[in-house]
Amino acid sequence: MRRFIVIGRKATASEEFLLDDLPSTSGRLDILLRCARAALLTSHGLRRDAVVYLVLLGGPRAPRVLRIRGDAAKFIRPDERSLATLAKKTLASRADEAASGFVDVKPGIAIARGGVEEVLADAAGATLFLLDESGEDLRAALPLAVDDLADVAFFLGDHHGLDAATRARIDAAGARPVSIGPVLVHADDVVAIVSNELDRRGVR
Ligand SMILES: C[S@@+](CC[C@H](N)C(=O)[O-])C[C@H]1O[C@@H](n2cnc3c(N)ncnc32)[C@H](O)[C@@H]1O
């Protein structure tokens, strides 16, 4: 399983954003949705081994985490508007208010109250990496044995990067800082490059 966790420092945890003006009204949820597309979709299908966590730290209902599992989700479309519509419907749910942990809103789509802590609990046992341009080269860090890559989780930031407390928590969880190269690139490009490195190692 390959997990991608995107930390949206201002990305809204509420459904109150405009589909016609996503970047200005959602705390840049559009960045996180592009990461979800890059993690979950190939040219003609859904990656069944991918799980995406969008950590939403902005807006009135924060913090919440939206989780999409490629092995169970249906009808995930690549265009940003469709993904935003899916997020809007999921965030409108109140299913997480009376529950702890992830609650399915529809097949493969779940919501949880909380932030990184909920993700770490859900991904217990995974080998953790933190995407950081000053980290160790990912190509050197990834173990060669496919079995060692059976459950991997990659944390990354949005355009604001990670706040100090979140960074400290991910470090404390034992995540290994890794770089995909010397140039700081957009978050969805990072997800695409990491996915490609996993594909090249035969991770399915
Ligand atoms: C657009 S960048 C963040 C820019 C932000 N201003 C900063 O300085 O952190 C979004 C995220 O992508 C990841 N990232 C970008 N370039 C990277 C690289 N070359 N290697 C590893 N991670 C990278 C980091 O996790 C970063 O938080």
- CA-wise closest residue to 200 among 135, 132, 139: 139
Question: How far apart, in Å, do the first and last CA atoms of the chain sit?
Answer: 7
Record the tokens describing residue 62, joined without a space. 């924060």
Q: Would you say residue 143 has pLDDT above 80?
A: no
pLDDT of residue 61: 95
Record the tokens describing residue 42, joined without a space. 């190939």
- Mutation to probe ligand 1, out of 54, 156, 195 (largest number of atoms < 8 A from CB): 156
Is the CB–ligand 1 distance for residue 166 below 6 Å?
no
Beta partners for residue 67, in sequence order: 53, 110
- CA-wise closest residue to 115 among 58, 77, 179, 172: 58
User: Alpha-carbon distance 168 to 152, whole Å?
Assistant: 19
Taking the centre of ligand 1 as the mean of its atom positions, its distance from the CA of residue 180, in whole angstroms, is 10
Q: Would you say residue 144 has pLDDT above 90?
A: no
Taking the centre of ligand 1 as the mean of its atom positions, its distance from the CA of residue 146, in whole angstroms, is 26
User: Alpha-carbon distance 72 to 196, whole Å?
Assistant: 22
Q: Would you say residue 145 has pLDDT above 60?
A: no
- CA-wise closest residue to 46 among 84, 72, 67: 72
Q: Using one digit for the tens of pLDDT, what is the confidence trace for 57-85? A: 999 999 999 999 999 999 899 999 999 99
Record the tokens describing residue 185, joined without a space. 């690139």
Least confident of 61-65, 99-103, 138-142, 162-166: 138-142
Neighbours of 33 (CB within 10 A): 27
Whether the upstream peptide bond of residue 63 has omega within 30° of 0, thus cis, is yes
* Alpha-helical segments (H) within the chain: 22-25, 29-40, 80-92, 116-122, 138-141, 164-172, 187-200
Is the CB–ligand 1 distance for residue 131 below 6 Å?
yes
Tell me which amino acid residue 120 is.
L
User: Alpha-carbon distance 6 to 112, whole Å?
Assistant: 15
Q: Does the predicted TM-score (pTM) go above 0.95?
A: yes
Taking the centre of ligand 1 as the mean of its atom positions, its distance from the CA of residue 43, in whole angstroms, is 25
